[in-house]
Structure 1
Amino acid sequence: MAIIITDDCINCGACEPECPNTAIYEGGAEWTWGEGTQLQFIELEDGSKLGGKDPQEPVSNDFYYIVPGKCTECKGFHEEPQCAAVCPVDCCVEDPDYRETEEELLAKKAWLHNEDAVIA
C-alpha cells in the first residue's frame, strides 16, 4: 500500500528528500510523473497519453503529500518507508485506500524507473 501524510504534518519537510521515487511534495506544489523517475509519458486507461513533465494538481494544499501512484513504500530501495522513518511526528502512515502487495509495489518501482513504461 502507499503511504499517506496525515493532517498531523507540521510541514517540516524532512520526508521529501528521503523519497527514492520523488513521490512527496510540499502542500500546494504541482507534481509530475516524470520527476524522479524515468517516465517520459504514461498511457491512461482510456488510451490517452500524458507527458511525464505535464504538471498535475496538488493532492493537498495545506501540508506535504505523497502521490499514491508514485509511492512504493521504498520497496526495492530500503527495508522500510523512509518518510515514516524520519518523520518527527509520525504522520507518515499506511494509506488504507491504496493496498498493494510487495509484488505490486516492486512492479510499480520497475514501471516508474523504466523509460518505456506504460500504465494500463
Structure 2
Amino acid sequence: MFDENYIPRPQMTDEEIKRYYDQVNESGNKNFKFKEVEKANSEGDYCIVTLTCGTNYYITFKAKDASTAAIETFQALVYDGEPVREVKSIQVKPTSYSNQGNEVDEDQTA
C-alpha cells in the first residue's frame, strides 16, 4: 500500500549515532519532576508494512531537577498506535535550538 503522505526520514550516520549515545551517557540518572508542556505536534496517522497504524507525537516540555531545582527543557518522541504505545526517545533540548521564533542569536549578528 502506497501512502502519498509518507515522508522518508534520512538514516543517521555512525557519527550521529555515536554522538547521540554519548549525550545519553553524559546525562546520567537524575530525578526530574514534570512542570509543563511547552509545545506538542503530531505527525499524521500512518501505516507501516505490517499494517500497524499510529501517530508520532513530538512533545517539548519543562521539568525541574529535584536535587538542584534547575528547570530543563526536554524533547520527546512518543508513538501511539495499535497495539503499541511507546516513548521512542527523550532528551534534553539542545541549546542550539533554544533560540527559535523572534529571538535573535548573538552569533548571527555582526
TM over 0.5: no
Question: Which TM bucket (shorter chain)?
Answer: under 0.3
**Structure with the largest fraction of strand:** 2
Larger RCO, structure (CA 8 Å, separation 6 or more) = 1
Give the TM-score taking structure 2 as reference length: 0.26
Structure of higher CA gyration radius = 2
